[in-house]
Amino acid sequence: DACVQMELLGHNFFVFCNAETDQVNVVYKRKGNTYGLIEPEF
């Protein structure tokens, strides 16, 4: 869902609350149209 929202907004990254972990995550677009996920540890 986060990747879809990012694409709809036309952004290169999207910050969201992960429903499974209840943590803030960042999904981003890499070169070659693949996606990366950042899951920070606090």
The residue whose two tokens read 């869902």 is 1
Rounded distance, CA 29 to CA 42, Å? 23
Q: At 37, is the pLDDT very low, low, confident or very high (cuts 50, 70, 90)?
A: very high
- 6-35 pLDDT tens trace: 999 999 999 999 999 999 999 999 999 899
Q: Specify the 3-state DSSP secondary structure of 7.
A: helix
Q: What is the CATH number of the domain that holds 18?
A: 3.30.505.50
pTM: 0.85
Its domain, for residue 23, covers 2-38
Give me Rg for the CA atoms of the chain. Answer: 10
Tally the domains of the chain.
1
